[in-house]
């Protein structure tokens, strides 16, 4: 009877601890939370995600890389076509070249491991050729989307896996600044396109990397149909929190200000304005 009572006490203590962890994680991400709902290590890892741009001078062990890629390979893939690959770069000269092409970013240059996630139709084309067929369906926009979605799903699975074993990560969209030159550095064949980069390493504890606020449930989740105007109040609340966060990071402006600046001025796209041409040159005509 005593043992059973102890078991109930331990279970109750674990539930209370989980409720406190859940509340803390949701408050950091959304500014408000309740203690109701499920909680486990996966949710804790996902809600604690933060971008890490400074790493210790310590290589990522091979078994960690294999675990991360195994998680990536376990992501969903449309019709199990698996239209993605990843290049794991540790060679310092190649990393330096990629850092320069991605906007001269130190988060790339000083990363012990840089992963480049690829939409990959070269493998499928080789298979089709062996069967005496042409890969004509890859030349439509749907084909490009399939490859990009597969690569993105794999990359995000990899991020969660990496963070679960103590690694830090940051996505690098700048890898699309000069995709043809990135292809040269990585010796990519035709029909392979660099979708996004990912710097990986053990986080430098001296970096002030915090959990970034996100739009609330009432803004991003719609019930049965999409509602645009109903988002306004939630956006206003979020904008206040985001501006406080940016100020704490020594950055000016608000979230809505960033939306306007990034999406209304064509100049902010830089070389990415010619991304359609780059896709075509890499064998993604998007008819």
Task: For each of the domains in the chain, give its residue range(s) and CATH number, in order of start.
Answer: 2-47 (no CATH), 62-209 (3.40.109.10), 217-248 (no CATH)
Does residue 10 surpass a pLDDT of 70? Answer: no
Q: How confident is the model at residue 287 (pLDDT cuts 50, 70, 90)?
A: confident
Indicate the length of the chain as a whole number: 287
- The residues, any chain, with a CB within 8 Å of residue 106's CB and separated by 6 or more, are 53, 99
The pLDDT of residue 276 = 92
- Three-class SS of residue 171? strand
The pLDDT of residue 285 = 85
The pLDDT of residue 20 = 87
Terminal-residue alpha carbon distance, the chain:
72
Closest listed residue to residue 70, CA positions, set 139, 161, 193, 187? 161
Closest listed residue to residue 193, CA positions, set 242, 136, 148? 148
Judge whether 90 and 111 are in contact, CB under 8 Å: no
Q: How confident is the model at residue 31 (pLDDT cuts 50, 70, 90)?
A: confident
- Three-class SS of residue 269? helix
Would you give the DSSP letter of residue 193?
Answer: E
How far is residue 32's CA from residue 236's CA, in Å, rounded to a whole number? Answer: 15
Looking at the chain, the whole-number percentage of residues with pLDDT higher than 70 is 93
How far is residue 38's CA from residue 40's CA, in Å, rounded to a whole number? Answer: 7
Q: How confident is the model at residue 251 (pLDDT cuts 50, 70, 90)?
A: confident
How far is residue 237's CA from residue 219's CA, in Å, rounded to a whole number? Answer: 10
The pLDDT of residue 178 = 96
- The residues, any chain, with a CB within 8 Å of residue 163's CB and separated by 6 or more, are 45, 48, 49, 169
Lowest-pLDDT choice from 28-42, 89-103, 126-140, 263-277: 28-42
Cα-Cα-Cα-Cα dihedral of 158, 164, 166, 169, to 10°? 30
Closest listed residue to residue 90, CA positions, set 50, 139, 55? 55
How far is residue 181's CA from residue 115's CA, in Å, rounded to a whole number? Answer: 16
Does residue 52 surpass a pLDDT of 70? Answer: yes
Closest listed residue to residue 46, CA positions, set 29, 59, 32, 63? 29
The token pair that represents 69 in the structure block: 């890629």
């Amino acid at each position: 009877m005593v043992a059973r009572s102890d078991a109930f006490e331990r279970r109750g203590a674990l539930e209370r601890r989980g409720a406190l962890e859940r509340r803390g994680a949701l408050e950091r991400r959304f500014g408000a939370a309740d203690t109701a709902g499920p909680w486990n290590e996966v949710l804790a890892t996902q809600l604690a995600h933060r971008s890490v741009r400074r790493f210790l001078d310590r290589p990522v062990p091979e078994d960690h890389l294999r675990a991360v890629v195994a998680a990536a390979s376990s992501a969903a893939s449309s019709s199990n076509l698996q239209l993605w690959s990843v290049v794991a770069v540790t060679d310092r000269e190649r990393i330096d070249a990629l850092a320069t092409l991605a906007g001269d970013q130190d988060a790339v240059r000083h990363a012990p491991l840089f992963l480049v996630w690829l939409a990959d139709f070269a493998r499928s084309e080789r298979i089709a050729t062996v069967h005496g067929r042409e890969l004509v369906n890859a030349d439509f926009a749907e084909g490009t989307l399939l490859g990009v979605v597969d690569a993105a799903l794999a990359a995000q699975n990899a991020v969660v896996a990496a963070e679960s074993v103590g690694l830090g990560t940051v996505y690098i969209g700048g890898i699309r600044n000069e995709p043809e030159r990135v292809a040269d550095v990585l010796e990519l064949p035709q029909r392979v396109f660099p979708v996004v980069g990912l710097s990986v390493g053990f986080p430098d504890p001296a970096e002030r990397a915090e959990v970034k606020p996100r739009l609330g449930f009432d803004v991003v989740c719609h019930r049965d149909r999409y509602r645009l105007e109903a988002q306004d109040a939630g956006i206003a609340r979020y904008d206040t929190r985001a501006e406080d966060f940016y100020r704490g990071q020594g950055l000016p402006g608000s979230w809505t200000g960033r939306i306007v600046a990034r999406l209304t001025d064509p100049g902010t796209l830089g070389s990415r304005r010619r991304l359609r041409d780059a896709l075509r040159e890499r064998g993604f005509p998007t008819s």
